[in-house]
Amino acid sequence: MRFRLVLLPVALGAAALAGCAVGPDYQRPDVSAQLPSSSASASSSASASSSPAADGQAPPWREASPADGAPRGPWWTLFGDAELNRIEEAVVAGNQDIVAAAARVGQARATARIRGADFLPELKLDAVAERERLGANAPQYQQFSGFKVAPTTVNSISVPIDLSYEVDLWGRVRRSFESARDQAQASQADAQNVLLAATAEAALDYFALRRDDAGVKILRETLALRQHAVGIVEKRLQAGRVTALDLAQAKTEQANAEADLAEVLQSRAQNQNALACLCGKPASDFVVAEDPTLPAPPDVPVGLPSALLERRPDVARAERLVAARNAEIGVAKAAFFPALSLTGQGGYLSYTTNNLFTSPSQVWAIGPTLSLPLFAGGRNAAQLREAKAAWEEATANYRGSVLVAVRDVENALAARRYLGDRIDAVARAAVQSEEALRLTEARYKSGEISYFDVIVAERTALGARRAVAEVSALRLQAAVSLIKALGGGWGEEAVSQ
Residues 489 and 73 sit within 8 Å (Cβ to Cβ): yes
User: In terms of C-beta distances under 8 Å and separation of at least 24 residues, what long-range contacts does 253-262 make, across chains too?
Assistant: 253/226, 253/229, 253/455, 253/458, 253/459, 254/223, 254/226, 254/227, 254/229, 254/230, 257/219, 257/222, 257/223, 257/226, 258/223, 260/219, 261/216, 261/219, 261/220, 261/223
SS3 state of residue 134? strand
Task: Please report how the helices 379-445 and 313-334 are oriented relative to each other, as an axis angle in degrees rounded to 10.
Answer: 170
- Which pLDDT score is estimated for 385? 93
Low-confidence ranges of the chain (pLDDT < 50): 1-19, 38-59, 64, 492-497
- Which pLDDT score is estimated for 254? 93
Backbone angles phi, psi at 375, to 5 degrees: -150, 125
- Which pLDDT score is estimated for 471? 95
DSSP characters for 395-442? HHHHHHHHHHHHHHHHHHHHHHHHHHHHHHHHHHHHHHHHHHHHHHHH
pTM summary value: 0.78
Class (C level, CATH) for 22-120+169-337+380-495: mainly alpha
Q: What is the CA radius of gyration of the chain?
A: 38
For residue 37, count CB atoms less than 10 angstroms from its CB and return exposed for 0-12, middle for 13-18, buried for 19 or more. Answer: exposed
Question: In sequence order, what are the residues at sequence separation of 6 or more whose Cβ sits closer than 8 angstroms to the Cβ of residue 30?
Answer: 63
- Which pLDDT score is estimated for 134? 72
Q: Say how far apart CA 290 and CA 395 lie, in whole Å.
A: 48
Q: Say how far apart CA 5 and CA 98 lie, in whole Å.
A: 50
Residues 316 and 189 sit within 8 Å (Cβ to Cβ): yes
Q: Say how far apart CA 4 and CA 348 lie, in whole Å.
A: 7
Cβ of 262: how many Cβ atoms within 10 Å?
11
Task: Of 422, 406, 421, give the one whose Cα is nearest residue 482.
Answer: 406
> What's the start-to-end Cα distance of the chain, in Å?
75
Kind plus residue range of the DSSP H or E element containing 85? helix 82-94
- Which pLDDT score is estimated for 316? 87
Q: What amino acid occupies position 178?
A: E
- Which pLDDT score is estimated for 173? 86
SS3 state of residue 281? coil
SS3 state of residue 131? strand
